[in-house]
Amino acid sequence: MKRTMSFVKVATAGEVPAGAMKHVEIGETEICVVNVNGTFYAIGDRCGHENARLSRGSLTGTIVTCPMHASQFDLTSGKLMSGPVLELEGLKEMFTGCPEKVKEKVGQMFAGIADEQRLIKTYDMPIYPVKKEGSDILVDPKGTP
């Protein structure tokens, strides 16, 4: 059975210039619309780790990096490519000069958080069909391309 596409206008091309990511919502579905050198992609905008908005992250080619723990997802497939990164770089140095008891407690707190986060699975992201009609960007929130 062939699925019927149901594209919805989510933005104008001018609102998503090359290299940009834009958060849009279609009903309850949060979507990140991305322009990679004139090609548009649409990927879920709640990270497969802990729901941060990917649209607030960074973009390198077709790889989007989550702003929260740096998980990376491929826009073309939604696949998790790497991450999350759960250790804070430079944490010990941040507390140089603090009393040992403070360093120890803060270290324990962050280690505990990282232990819990290691148990959280990170899922691939949904991707959505997207097309450009004139100056409009349209997304089908119901399906994969």
72 binds ligand FES (CB under 6 A): no
Pick from 26, 68, 75, 139 the residue near ligand FES by CB under 6 A. Answer: 68
Instruction: Evaluate whether 55 touches 21 at the Cβ level (below 8 Å).
Output: yes
Find the binder of ligand FES among 66, 75, 130, 137 (CB under 6 A): 66
Torsion of CA 124, 145, 62, 126, to 10 degrees: -20
**Closest approach of Cβ 113 to ligand FES, in Å?**
12
Are the C-beta atoms of 46 and 53 separated by less than 8 Å? Answer: yes
- Per the CB < 8 A criterion, the answer to whether 96 and 90 are in contact is no
Candidates 23, 50, 131, 132; binder of ligand FES (CB under 6 A) is: 50
Among 11, 33, 71, 139, contact with ligand FES (rule: CB under 6 A) = 71
| Residue 83 lies near ligand FES (rule: CB under 6 A) | yes
**Strands, sheet with 58-60, edge to edge from the N-terminal-most edge strand:** 58-60, 63-65, 72-74, 80-82
How many whole angstroms separate alpha carbon 68 and alpha carbon 52? 6
Assess 124 for contact with ligand FES (CB under 6 A): no
Under the criterion CB under 6 A, does residue 141 sit at the interface with ligand FES?
Answer: no
Q: Out of 36, 47, 64, 139, which residue is the one contacting ligand FES (CB under 6 A)?
A: 47
Q: Are 64 and 58 in contact (CB under 8 A)?
A: yes
Chain residues binding ligand FES by CB under 6 A are 47, 49-50, 52, 66, 68-69, 71, 83-84
